[in-house]
Amino acid sequence: MKVVLFCGGLGMRMREGTGSAPKPMAMIGDRPLLWHVMRYYAHFGHTDFILCLGYGAAAVKDYFLHYDETLSNDFTLARGGRDIRLFATDITDWNITFIDTGLDTSVGERLARVRRHVQDEPMFLANYADTLTDAPLPDLVDRFAASGATASLLAVPVQSTHHVVDVDPGDRVTRIRPIRELMQWENGGYFILRPEIFSVLREGEDLVPHAFARLLPYGRLLAQRYTGFWRAADTFKDRAELEECHRSARCPWMLWDLGRSGSPAMSG
């Protein structure tokens, strides 16, 4: 299936240490966030990507136009550097389409602007370019295909580290507990969509909540609840934590790399 990735975010909350690069190009180890998301999909055999570009489009294009396979693969150097023999490759079988979808465009509008690239597909995948997970994608796809829904999203527990308090009528706190214990669910991206989604997209509106809200009365939006690893790199602190995961080789989302993911590699 084709994979649409929304790469136009400015990422103001991640400015420290990223220079003028767009948020999806913030580095985790030797590769940007965007690469990690793409590598996840490629692990399950989905290698036809459509990148919805906006802010920092040139940085994304330049990265892939000058991609260096040696950064993440072992190789043998011979003939004084004139012959490089890679033991494995990352993107040799990837097909990447780069589409400028505007600087201040919502996710819904970005999706609408790449409609012609996916409208003939029975189903397609879509996601933000800055969220990582180890969710079993083939299971998500199979459940969605059997559901008859128009769209599905990964529903993850609220990620806030804050606490909520219960208060009695006399303003006395009776209970303190983490927000996660409420088992509320938030949109975690990793969308699976049918082309019918375009019939509920409107100009100037977003995918979430506007287009998805139109599916609710008909029961056409599926939530795929997942309590395993999921992380959005929204802030500099988030990125620092992901960097620490990479440094210590504790990267659950890197299913293609058993040495870093810490779990048996899953494949599609």
pLDDT score at 14: 47
What residues contact 120, with CB distance under 8 A and at least 6 apart?
195
Eight-state DSSP code of residue 13: G
Cross-strand pairs, 75: 86
The span from the CA of 266 to the CA of 18, in Å, is 32
**All domains of the chain, ordered by start, with CATH?**
2-261 (3.90.550.10)
User: Hey, is 151 helix, strand or coil?
Assistant: strand
Q: Hey, which residues does 1 pair with through a beta bridge?
A: none
Q: Which residues pair with 191 in a beta bridge?
A: 126
> Which burial class, exposed, middle or buried, applies to 248 when counting CB atoms under 10 A from its CB (0-12, 13-18, 19+)?
exposed
Quick one: pLDDT at residue 71?
A: 84
Higher pLDDT, 216 or 166: 216
Phi first, then psi: give them for residue 46, nearest 5 degrees.
Answer: -100, 100
Lowest mean pLDDT among 165-169, 199-203, 233-237: 233-237
Both structure tokens of 38: 């793409």
Give the separation between CA 137 and CA 8, rounded to whole angstroms.
Answer: 24
pLDDT digits (tens, 9 = 90+) for 39-75: 999 999 999 999 999 999 999 999 999 998 888 888 8
Q: Where are the alpha helices (DSSP H) in 148-257?
A: 212-213, 236-247
Mean pLDDT of the chain: 90
Do 28 and 242 form a contact (C-beta atoms < 8 A)? yes
Mean pLDDT of all residues in 14-22: 58
- As a whole number of angstroms, the distance between CA 218 and CA 221 comes to 8
CB 129 within 8 Å of CB 41: no
Q: pLDDT > 70: what percent of the chain?
A: 93
- Contact by Cβ (8 Å): 165, 173: yes
Q: Using an 8 Å Cβ cutoff, are 151 and 29 in contact?
A: no
Out of 22-26, 52-56, 107-111, 138-142, which region has the weakest mean confidence (pLDDT)?
Answer: 22-26
Residue 123's identity, in one-letter code, is M
